Amino acid sequence: MELAMAQKPVKSGAKPARRTKARPYHLGDLKEKLIAATEALILEKGVDGFSLREVARRAGVSPAAPSHHFGDAQGLLAEVAYLGFRDFADALAAADARGKNPATRLHEQGLAYVGFALSHPARFTLMFRQRAFGAGHTGLETESARAFSILENAIRAATGTAPDEHLSQDGFGLLLATWSIVHGFAHLALEGQLDHAAGERRIGILDVILPLTLQHLPAARPG
């Protein structure tokens, strides 16, 4: 019964190319490659321009391959957002450590916040979109909460509020004002609203605007 055998798809005329070392069957680092491809794609085309197939294509892999690492497309996006928040929180923590008193801690954090957004626009945009979307990725929630707590702690130090105390209305206002101003500046810059001011000047202007909010800090107390 030749027919039965013919059901198996027949390779086209040419010999199948032999696998070379350069392109083994198991890649080992596919997970990292997919993450990198995702960031690159979002950088080029925006978050809406993302597609799982295009990412697979860029990683040189079949469209079904990513599912083994991330489940579905949403899983990949959540993972990228998680990694973003992890690095973001690290950057804020490092900046905070550079500050010598509450005012400079907040100033450094603000510079780091905007610096991160401008250096990693794809990540930054995706991070907040995923968080808003409520992706059920526990790491994402943990790391974004950590980022927020770094800001909150500096505000607590600035206002002399103990960890078990509620922030005063003014403290809460200060926290929100600081967050808003850096978040807004980052968005305006990423949206291209600030393009008339060149790169250097754009980030330099932060040294002017951050103090407008931060000069309202109560006298620094040992944090």
Partner DNA sequence: TGTACATCAGTGAACGCGCGTTCACTGATGTAC
Task: Please check whether residue 110 is in contact with residue 182, taking contact to mean a CB–CB distance below 8 angstroms.
Answer: yes
Q: What is the DSSP string of 114-131?
A: HHHHHH-HHHHHHHHHHH
- Cα–Cα distance, 154 to 213 (Å, whole number): 14
Restricted to residues 172-211, the positions that interact with its own copies (CB under 8 A) are 172-174, 176-177, 179-188, 191-194, 205, 208-209
119 counts as binding its own copies under rule CB under 8 A: no
* Residue placing its CB nearer to its own copies in the complex, 69 or 187: 187
Look up residue 10 and give its two tokens. 């027949």
CB of 26 to its own copies, least distance (A): 35
By the criterion CB under 7 A, which residues form the site for DNA?
8-9, 19, 24-28, 30, 50-54, 60-65, 67-69, 72-74
* Residue placing its CB nearer to DNA in the complex, 69 or 202: 69
* Residue placing its CB nearer to its own copies in the complex, 59 or 109: 109
Query: Across the chain, how many H-helices and E-strands are there?
Result: 11, 0
- Cα–Cα distance, 154 to 160 (Å, whole number): 10
Name residues whose C-beta falls within 8 Å of residue 52's C-beta, 6 or more positions apart in sequence: 63, 66, 72, 73, 76
Restricted to residues 39-68, the positions that interact with its own copies (CB under 8 A) are 47-48
- Cα–Cα distance, 216 to 210 (Å, whole number): 11
* Residue placing its CB nearer to DNA in the complex, 7 or 215: 7
DSSP 63: T
Among 119, 212, 218, 221, binds its own copies (CB under 8 A): 212
* Residue placing its CB nearer to DNA in the complex, 35 or 117: 35
Chain residues that interact with its own copies, rule: CB under 8 A: 47-48, 128, 131-132, 134, 169-170, 172-174, 176-177, 179-188, 191-194, 205, 208-209, 212-213, 215-216
